[in-house]
Chains A and B, each alone.
Chain A
Amino acid sequence: MLEIIVCFKHVIDETELRIDRASNKINFEGAKTKISDDDKNVIEEAVRIKEKNGGSITALCVGAADAKKSAKEALAMGCDRARLVSDPAFSDEDAIATAYVLSQAIKKIGKYDLVLTSTGTTDSYTGAVGPALGEFLDLPQLTYASKIVISGNKLTVDRLLEEGVETVEAESPALITVSREINQPRFPTLLQIMGAGKKELLEWNAAAIGVDIGIVGKGGSRVEVTALNLPKSSRKRVIYEGKPEDSAKQLAEALIKEGAVK
């Protein structure tokens, strides 16, 4: 039976953030949380794979206890069980440390054929967790998947690249990072939502998955976020006066010169 592990992140809803233009800072106060948008595509793909090939899905999240509601949503979308890993020791850690924690949790889960992650999360979008997790688990990794076909233990994946699509093959077990273009996530029905409460949701801490505390959290991270600012954008405030046909021409020329239009 195909065993799928889906990694998802519980993030702050970016549409809820307020911007303080004076200080150029982001105000996180009172913002709601959710499953990272791209991770919903990953969960959806896992459910579609299961619907087509059979198997079972374990949803895995490293995050605060607050992530429980997102775990329930993943269960309502069709995952069979969820594992939530949280520990104060993990706070402010970088992508590599997160990948290490995920790898330890996956080792505790044990058997798996497929590990699915998104190509990046909507909050920090480092894009590093998936590949780093593949390394920690010593798995072949197929990134930016826009199509996944499974035949026995052979995986065929279309990789969505900037200039085209590359088709690659690998044998399971493997790690696939899934692009958001792959599908449109479903909404669960009320019946599925009611059913989610009956599915197994286990919470693990660092000790439960045998994490080496020295290489997680802020202390164990090699990357530190020192500031979070908005990009500064200033307007040019150019006005082309005169006859409309002349000023339109001037505007078009200026836009072409700036590279805004080709």
Chain B
Amino acid sequence: MNFDFSDEQKLLLRVVDETCRKIRPIEDRFYLAREFNDQVLPIFKEAHLLGLPISRNYGEGQGADALTYALVLERIGQEGTGIRTFFSGHVSLGQSTLQKWGTDDQRERYLPKTTSGEMIMAFGLTEPTAGSDPASMKTNFEERGDGYYLNGQKAWISNGSIADLAIVFAYPEGKTEGMCAFLVETKAEGFSAEPIKHKLGLPTSDTGLLYFTDCKVPKENMLGPPGKGLSVAYTALMSGRLSVAAGSVGVLQDCLDESVRYAKERVQHKKKIGKHQLVQREIAKISLDLESSRMMTYRAATLKVQSDQSPNNYELRSEADWWIAQAKYYSANASFTGADRALQVFGANGFSFENRPARHLADTRACRIYEGTDQILEQKIAIKLLGTEFEAYS
């Protein structure tokens, strides 16, 4: 596979780089105050980056392919997993899923507003008692008159308490099959949300709890065919996982940049610590993890581009899905370890959130859980090789 980037991709990355430099001092302030960064939206809106992989037919959609979008998320990931998580929720899980499964009417009603940032999206699958086992979720709906009425709760939803539009999954009342997906406007009666507090990391990103109490969803807002909710969810997770992989590559790049910079400045034992071979080893290992993660992620993204171009090729989609799972698993773990190594290079100074490695260490822990835990992905990777008859939960 050829990973020589086009002039257009390079120029786009210059624009993204400029935007990221703008957000950095702002994110610094919000991180130390442990507050939601409300400037991410206006700053990235100005750079036309809120609907990058969405078709140009819809508002500010830019029509970027999955690889170009992954490159952009890699750069954004350098600024912190909190900022990248906003994109995962709003674009990868939200808009991309709406574009793939939505009717013409649904796309035309919502995508112009989501690509412009007028509406923020979230993806509501996880529940307090249903994480890795989404099929055990309890949120349900009842069809009454002119709409569907949702009852239940969703937890750990990125952008959950700031979203205007959420993709929500529910079973028909009294059933545990026939899952459906819905487009829920959060201004609807019966919807409420609150941010989750006391998180280990991601303080600048919103993570919400969503409550549905006879929340009415109009008939025209079912997303995808009735009973196909799990298929909607699984395709969304492909985009979501790729976004985590790409963002994690960015984190590793930042850990490497920070470690090299610090090792060239910090003096101990009358010499710069970069001259100490044990510090060199940490830097070398971050670099190895960075390039390995990057190659896996680019390969996964390239397969997704091919799969998107041939939507009926099941084999290609399965191959892309597998590579995305591997890239997400590997990069998420490598970024967590890389952050720990960078922190070690910084010594005691690394133990403060004033320096970036500590933030990456706290934030990337989430990457080993959301969009598929390490354990779920390990199984997924192995089952592809062993065969589906070895699935633990079938």
Q: List the interface of chain A (C-beta within 8 A of B).
A: 15, 34, 69, 72-73, 76, 187-191, 193-194, 196-197
Contacts and interface: CB of A to CB of B under 8 A. Distances in A.
A34 B60 CA distance: 26
Interface residues of B, number: 20
A191 B58 CA distance: 13
Contact of A193 (B8, B18, B21, B60): B8
Classify the secondary structure of A's interface with B: helix
B12 A73 contact: no
A191 B14 contact: no
Contacts of A34: 14
Contacts, number: 44
Contacts of A73: 11, 14-15
Given A187-B15, A190-B48, 20 more contacts: A15-B21, A34-B14, A69-B7, A69-B10, A72-B7, A73-B11, A187-B18, A187-B46, A187-B48, A188-B15, A189-B60, A190-B12, A190-B63, A190-B68, A191-B56, A191-B62, A193-B11, A193-B15, A196-B8, A197-B7
A72 B11 contact: yes
Contacts of B10: 69
Interface in B1-51: 7-8, 10-12, 14-15, 18-19, 21, 46-48
21 contacts: A15-B21, A69-B10, A69-B14, A73-B11, A73-B14, A73-B15, A187-B46, A188-B11, A188-B48, A190-B48, A190-B64, A191-B56, A191-B63, A193-B8, A193-B12, A193-B15, A194-B8, A196-B8, A196-B11, A197-B7, A197-B8
Contacts of A197: 7-8
B52 interface: yes
A117 B64 CA distance: 34
A174 to B, nearest CB: 31
Contact of B47 (A15, A72, A187, A196): A187
Given A187-B47, A190-B64, A191-B63, A76 B18 contact: no
Contacts of B62: 189-191
Contacts of A191: 56, 62-63
Contacts of A188: 11, 15, 48
A69 B11 contact: yes
A72 B14 CA distance: 11
